[in-house]
């Protein structure tokens, strides 16, 4: 009887604790979501009602002038969108190509100096980007890559330290028994990576794709440094066309920001099923 009463009290305490934690997380999520909702709402308003207080979350009269200015105005927003898609796609391909191979090598291939080389690679994450900005610019200038999209996606083919670290941690969880069986059948490392290791780390691969997709899509510093021609601008640089030294078209800025956010949301929705997967679903039994 005493044990039953104690267990019931324990369940009640756990339920209350989880409920309070859930409520806290919902409140935190709302504070993070409010700026985005305000941006979406403001994109359908004029420049006067946008700054009214209290905020009109649902506009009394929808104004599509901002979207008309973005997609049918003088600014070549569609061209900038194509440039961003091109650079982001190549950046993600480069990241997957380099980080999966590097992560697999650091996790499953034993070679002399592997751990030292890996620590050195990870240590570069502590170097601020401002320190390497000028040397990188000089190298790209020497290679003739200034005012070219190559300068934006080429670094992603060289192995990003965090991406390589992320994939290495997932590859470490791949059972050695599966790789040993493949070696007995005569498979090499390339075949084991493609046919065995990668299918078991889809969760990590999805995280890698999403993180670097968002990073490349919102990349502002690189285009600002390396791109000179307006025809090569990406979306982050395109926002400045809606403002000058005298005024800013806030409605168009909000509409352009919403348009930039849609591909990120679509990518997250497409990958969310894989983002919650874990290596426990590898299928090893017995």
Place of tokens 């391909």: 93
104 and 197 together in one domain: yes
Q: What pLDDT does residue 217 have?
A: 92
Domain around 87: 74-282
Distances (CA, A) of 33 to 4, 26, 40, 261: 43, 10, 11, 13
- The three-state secondary structure class of 248 is strand
**Are residues 90 and 26 both part of a single domain?**
no
**Within this chain, do residues 103 and 41 fall inside the same structural domain, yes or no?**
no
Residues 54 and 174 reside in one and the same domain: no
Q: CA 263 to CA 18: how far, in whole Å?
A: 34
Contact 196, 182 (CB under 8 A): yes
Tens digits of residue pLDDT in 107-143:
888 888 888 888 988 888 888 888 888 888 999 999 9
Q: What percent of the chain has pLDDT over 70?
A: 92
Q: Are 184 and 215 in contact (CB under 8 A)?
A: no
CATH of residue 180: 1.10.3720.10
- Secondary structure class of 286 (helix, strand, coil): coil
Task: Tell me the C-alpha distance between 246 and 122, whole Å.
Answer: 45
Which of 66, 84, 110 is a domain's end point?
Answer: 66
Give the model confidence (pLDDT) of 25-51 as tens digits.
888 888 888 888 888 888 888 777 777
Alpha carbon distances (Å) from 4 to 7, 8, 10, 13, 15 = 5, 6, 10, 14, 16
Strand partners, 248: 243
pLDDT band at 89 (very low <50, low <70, confident <90, very high): very high
pLDDT digits (tens, 9 = 90+) for 155-189: 889 888 899 998 898 888 888 888 878 788 777 88
| CA-CA-CA-CA torsion sign (115, 212, 158, 132) | negative
Q: Alpha-carbon distance 251 to 44, whole Å? A: 7
The answer to whether residues 36 and 160 belong to one domain is: no
Distance CA 114, CA 260 (A): 41
Same domain (yes/no): 210, 165: yes
Last residue of a domain, one of 38, 66, 94: 66
Nearest to 69 by CA among 43, 40, 48, 95: 43
How much is the pLDDT for 43?
82
Q: What is the pLDDT of residue 3?
A: 60
Same domain, 53 and 181: no
Residues 140 and 248 grouped into a single domain: yes
85 and 171 part of one domain: yes
Highest-confidence range of 192-206, 208-222, 260-274, by mean pLDDT? 208-222
Give the C-alpha separation, 51 to 41, whole Å.
11
Q: How far is CA 245 from CA 192, 240, 254, in A?
A: 57, 10, 18
Q: Into how many domains does the chain fold?
A: 2
User: Which is higher by pLDDT, 4 or 18?
Assistant: 18
Q: Identify the pLDDT of residue 92.
A: 93
Domain check: are 40 and 165 in the same one?
no
Mean pLDDT to the nearest integer, 88-103: 92
Q: How far is residue 103's CA from residue 109's CA, in Å, rounded to a whole number?
A: 10
Query: pTM for the whole thing?
Result: 0.81
**Extended strands (E) in 24-141:** none
Give yes or no: residues 38 and 93 share one domain: no
> Is there a single domain that holds both residue 162 and residue 129?
yes
Residue 85's pLDDT is: 93
Residue at a domain's end among 49, 66, 83: 66
């Amino acid at each position: 009887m005493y044990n039953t009463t104690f267990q019931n009290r324990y369940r009640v305490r756990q339920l209350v604790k989880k409920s309070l934690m859930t409520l806290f997380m919902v409140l935190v999520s709302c504070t993070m979501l409010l700026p985005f909702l305000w941006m979406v709402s403001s994109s359908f308003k004029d420049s006067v009602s946008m700054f009214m207080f209290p905020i009109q979350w649902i506009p009394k009269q929808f104004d599509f002038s901002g979207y008309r200015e973005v997609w049918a105005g003088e600014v070549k927003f569609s061209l900038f969108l194509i440039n961003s898609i091109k650079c982001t796609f190549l950046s993600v391909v480069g990241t997957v190509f380099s980080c999966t191979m590097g992560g697999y090598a650091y996790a499953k291939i034993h070679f002399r100096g592997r751990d030292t080389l890996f620590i050195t690679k990870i240590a570069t994450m502590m170097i601020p980007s401002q320190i390497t900005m000028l040397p990188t610019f000089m190298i790209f200038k020497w290679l003739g890559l200034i005012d070219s999209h190559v300068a934006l996606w080429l670094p992603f083919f060289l192995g990003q330290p965090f991406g390589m670290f992320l994939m290495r941690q997932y590859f470490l969880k791949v059972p050695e028994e599966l790789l040993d069986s493949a070696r007995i059948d005569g498979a090499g490392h390339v075949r084991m990576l493609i046919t065995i290791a990668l299918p078991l780390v889809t969760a990590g691969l999805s995280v890698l794709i999403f993180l670097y997709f968002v990073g490349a899509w919102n990349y502002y510093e690189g285009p600002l440094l390396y791109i000179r021609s307006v025809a090569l601008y990406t979306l982050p640089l395109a926002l400045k066309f809606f403002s000058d030294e005298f005024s800013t078209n806030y409605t168009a800025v909000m509409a352009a920001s919403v348009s930039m956010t849609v591909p990120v949301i679509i990518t997250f929705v497409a990958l969310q099923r894989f983002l919650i997967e874990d290596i426990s679903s590898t299928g090893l039994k017995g």
